[in-house]
Amino acid sequence: MCFFLSLIPATFFVTIGYFVLFASSKAEGGIKTFGLVLAIWIFVIALFPPIAGAYLTLSGQCPIEQMMKEFSTRGVQP
């Protein structure tokens, strides 16, 4: 469950990264290089939420799953 929720911020960062990459392709000189480097950094940052979400999901430490299990033991319907 944490993995699927981590795709939301990853999608946001990838969208911003493509916007920066597109904007830098229209620029010239040093701004173009800076935009390219910034876009690469944004793409790298976009990798962290899915990696963290996969780790939490696979290790069983996802607080969302624990909360849903707690609701099911109390008889509360999610």
Q: pLDDT digits over 2-44, tens only?
A: 899 999 999 999 999 999 999 999 999 999 999 999 999 999 9
Angle between helices 30-59 and 2-25 (to 10 degrees): 170
Burial of 53 (0-12, 13-18, 19+ CB in 10 A): buried
Confidence of residue 77 (pLDDT cuts 50, 70, 90): low
DSSP structural state of residue 73:
H
Residue range(s) defining the domain that contains residue 30: 2-74
Indicate the number of domains in the chain.
1
Question: In sequence order, which residues have a C-beta less than 8 Å from that of residue 57 and are 6 or more positions away?
Answer: 1, 2, 3, 65
Phi, psi of 29 (to 5 degrees): 70, -135
pTM of the model: 0.79
